[in-house]
A and B are shown apart, each in its own frame.
Chain A
């Protein structure tokens, strides 16, 4: 969004010494940034490499005999339980994302678009779950489910995970959609109303399309938070397993390389989706 490029900035600088300094400063930030990015990718690379390991008992040491092998990629469900765990995580992620996105978007609209009594406390109630450590959220839900809701017949399992994930995703949806709503130019909607669009038409043709990227972003954020959550899930899941829980539990026995295959594939799919999203976004901007 910032438009002035550093090159034009250099033209204003008088002394050549300052120029050299700026040249180094330019490169320094970029080099440091690239190093940090590489650091972020180190364990991803490790996970990828060990998905080709022809491991014997546990996938910790590289077995040079018969590695690299594609057998884990050909049979990603080969290890017992890994695909069941993945399926659970995907199902939980989808259900939690849909519900949290709807509930959170409604809250965001109310908080940004209206002035009403209790708005401040609403803001605080949405903020506090994000400022609470996950372990406290998990522990408190566990005590409620075990001591409070067991009488109603709610057992720890799939649905308690879904309930918990919706709870912690709502706040992140609200924050994301709220930021998008606040950055909208109110004149666009005023213009629509000046052109005799009713409130419903204004919402349908102006507000919603403008907010939609925020809502989509919030949904993606929710899904990734839910899919990757371990701490809260571990507290409320009972015997149900999810992908992170599967990895954690099987760590002691040795994680099968199939988990690496699935982990890396999720990464790959996500990158493709993000790139596709950016390309679509760019194409839209041009037209």
Chain B
């Protein structure tokens, strides 16, 4: 991840650099692309095609776990009507987590880019390092930290500010877990784009008698927009598909996300493959559509 931010920070030269750019019509680029794109074709595109066909299969009556090829579009209908609340929850929780992650990440990225000086490297290490303690262990650690008898929940209860009296088993814990897990994905791209910004431009805002907030809104924030867009996508997408946080921090009924449904339909419900596939395919289509609208809206071709 250091590399992402690091490499992202150095940009500036236009694409099409280097002495090779004159070589049009050469077969060499295709040769370079072939092995990697072949891998993606077999293990990314083909599985998606398979997923789509599975989503249209029907159960073979009398043989649980067996399906026959069909064009059963009712799978989509029943998946979407039955699990609409889970879809809604996924989008809502992921949206909230993205918002909170942004609120936490921006000051951190800002301080790193403009205030940290020689501490920048240390801060970078501090952001990446927690990643290496397995995210599973950290999520379970949060469960214990936020548990009913733990310090956080009892303090909040003592202050009578906790509705319902607990954090774990509620949506709050799930959103907190999602925010925590994907926070670095928000920090690094914002930092990369702030680092590229010229601090003198921001100072000019102050020199022109804009107050701190106006300078931030009209100068700093727009300059970091590519990073903010990349960061929100890198947070929202994995958060919307996540089911580990809902599983470990949430409750059985009221916090299940679409990922939990897909997982249980695949592994726990006999004959659940078509519905699970329909849900997965819808989730993917929904997110890709949102991503492309978002990129169009803010016009960042840099991501591609």
Contact = CB atoms under 8 A, between A and B. Distances in A.
Interface in B1-37: 1-4, 6-13, 15-21, 23-26, 28-30, 32-33, 35-37
A259 B4 CA distance: 29
Nearest to B284: A136
26 contacts: A4-B198, A4-B199, A32-B111, A33-B110, A43-B130, A44-B129, A106-B35, A128-B288, A131-B233, A131-B291, A135-B241, A135-B242, A141-B43, A143-B273, A171-B40, A182-B13, A183-B11, A216-B3, A224-B131, A230-B135, A234-B263, A259-B137, A266-B132, A266-B133, A267-B130, A275-B125
Q: Is the interface of B mostly helix, strand, loop or mixed?
A: helix
Contacts of A207: 18
Contact of B115 (A30, A123, A171, A199): A30
Contacts of B276: 139
B173 interface: no
A98 interface: no
B37 A125 contact: yes
Nearest to A2: B199
Given A9-B203, A247-B136, A266-B132, A144 B47 contact: yes
A81 interface: no
Contacts of A9: 199-200, 203
B266 A103 contact: no
B7 A179 contact: yes
Interface string A185-218: 1100110010000010010000100000110111
Given A133-B240, A179-B4, A33 B125 contact: no
A5 interface: yes
A29 interface: yes
Interface of B: 1-4, 6-13, 15-21, 23-26, 28-30, 32-33, 35-37, 39-41, 43-48, 50-51, 54, 104-105, 107-108, 110-117, 121, 123, 125-142, 144-145, 180, 183-184, 195-200, 203, 206-207, 211-212, 233, 237-238, 240-244, 248, 259, 262-263, 266, 273, 276-277, 280-281, 283-284, 287-288, 291, 303-304
Interface residues of A, number: 124
B73 to A, nearest CB: 18
Contact of B107 (A29, A42, A47, A143): A29
Contacts, number: 352
A18 interface: yes
A179 B10 contact: yes
A224 B1 contact: yes
Contacts of A144: 43, 46-47, 50-51
Given A32-B108, A166-B43, 11 more contacts: A13-B206, A32-B107, A37-B127, A114-B20, A140-B50, A144-B46, A144-B47, A182-B17, A217-B2, A221-B3, A231-B244
Nearest to B259: A135
Nearest to B206: A13
A102 B214 CA distance: 47
A122 interface: yes
Interface of A is mostly: helix
A92 interface: no
A267 B126 CA distance: 11
Contact of B195 (A2, A142, A182): A2
B37 A143 contact: no
B136 A135 contact: no
Contacts of B281: 136
Given A37-B126, A116-B24, A141-B47, A267 B133 contact: yes
A278 to B, nearest CB: 5
A29 B115 CA distance: 8
A148 B134 CA distance: 32
Interface in A68-120: 103-104, 106-107, 109-116, 119
Nearest to B7: A179
A228 B121 contact: no
For the complex of A and B, 9 pairs with smallest distance between CB atoms = A217-B3, A133-B241, A183-B10, A140-B47, A33-B111, A43-B141, A179-B7, A103-B36, A32-B107
A141 to B, nearest CB: 5
B288 A167 contact: no
A33 B133 contact: no
B108 A220 contact: no
A40 B244 contact: no
B104 A39 contact: yes
B17 A112 contact: yes
A44 B13 contact: no
A171 B4 CA distance: 12
A107 B28 CA distance: 11
Interface in A134-159: 134-137, 139-144, 147-148
A116 B10 contact: no
Contacts of A114: 20-21, 23, 26, 28-29
Contacts of B51: 136, 139-140, 143-144
User: Which of A28, A125, A136 gathers most chain B CB within 10 Å?
Assistant: A136
A139 B108 contact: no
